[in-house]
Amino acid sequence: MNSYIIEEKTGYLLFTINREDVRNAINYDVMEGIEKLLDMGKDKAYKALVITGAGESAFCSGGDLSAFHQLKTENESYQMLSKMSSILYRLLTYPKPTLAILNGSAVGGGCELASACDFRIGRKGLKAGFIQGKLAITTGWGGGSILLEKLGITNALKLLMTADLYDSEQLLAVGFLNELYDGDQQQACQLYIEKMLKLETEVLSAYKKMVVRKWEETNLQKRIQEEVSNCAKLWQSEAHHQKVTSFLLKNKKM
């Protein structure tokens, strides 16, 4: 079964992480799928990109712990973290509107993926959290630096420094979610982007350029690279490896 599905919809591309059995955890296949989405999205036929997860339970549970647990040293983890942070920077600065539909829980890198999109709508009742801190690491794909750009500093630091799971109403209140939906996900998606799809793609990309220019002037990409380097240093700590091992043992993955 493919780790992801890319569907051509009228005016936009829909990317679905298709790994429901592991709560849509991101492995190298999914990373390659997002790169393929970003390449396909250049076509003028598409005015927007939408990202979601398969099933009702999870949007994305972050990095695939079974796959990435093999990465022990700072350098080994840096290669993976740097690869995904570059992909998320491409997504963040994409010259078209991008929407994450949180169809269920989003944790760790799943929240980083959602943060890299311009907009986030979430199913009522979901829980999400930047739980990296509970694994003795920080965000490592750029999500911390991006969150600090998109939410107020206090709200962003609260989500990052508590490493807690928050419910959909709380996430709406702090501005991580832009809207909540009940029921049909496709309808919620259509309702959210239909007005944007009526505009010329040149107008949409001109507005996106305004914010990308601000991020370029404030060295966001360099700040993301520092985040990645810091996470790689923490990654090799005994504390991090023990936390991941206990998760995998609890789920009989070791």
Ligand X SMILES: CC[C@H](C(=O)O)C(=O)SCCNC(=O)CCNC(=O)[C@H](O)C(C)(C)COP(=O)(O)OP(=O)(O)OC[C@H]1O[C@@H](n2cnc3c(N)ncnc32)[C@H](O)[C@@H]1OP(=O)(O)O
Which residues form the interface with ligand X (CB under 6 A)?
22-23, 25, 57-58, 61-66, 68, 105, 107-109, 131-132, 135, 139-141, 247, 251, 253
Using DSSP's 3-state secondary structure scheme, residue 123 falls into strand
| Distance of closest approach, residue 77 Cβ to ligand X, in angstroms | 8
Q: Which is nearer to ligand X, 61 or 201 (CB)?
A: 61
Q: Which is nearer to ligand X, 167 or 205 (CB)?
A: 167
Using DSSP's 3-state secondary structure scheme, residue 62 falls into coil
Contact yes or no for 29/75 (Cβ under 8 A): no
Q: How far is the C-alpha of 15 from the C-alpha of 46, rounded, in Å?
A: 13
Which residues have C-beta within 8 Å of that of residue 116, sequence separation ≥ 6? 88, 89, 91, 92, 98, 142, 143, 146
Matching residue, tokens 């959290």 = 129
| Distance of closest approach, residue 200 Cβ to ligand X, in angstroms | 36
Using DSSP's 3-state secondary structure scheme, residue 35 falls into helix
Q: Which is nearer to ligand X, 18 or 105 (CB)?
A: 105
Angle, to 10 degrees, between the axis of helix 143-150 and the axis of helix 153-162? Answer: 150
Residue nearest to ligand X (CB): 63
| Distance of closest approach, residue 37 Cβ to ligand X, in angstroms | 19
Q: Which is nearer to ligand X, 33 or 140 (CB)?
A: 140
Q: What is the DSSP letter of 20?
A: G
Cross-strand partners of 105? 58
| Distance of closest approach, residue 63 Cβ to ligand X, in angstroms | 2
| Distance of closest approach, residue 253 Cβ to ligand X, in angstroms | 6
Q: Which is nearer to ligand X, 66 or 229 (CB)?
A: 66
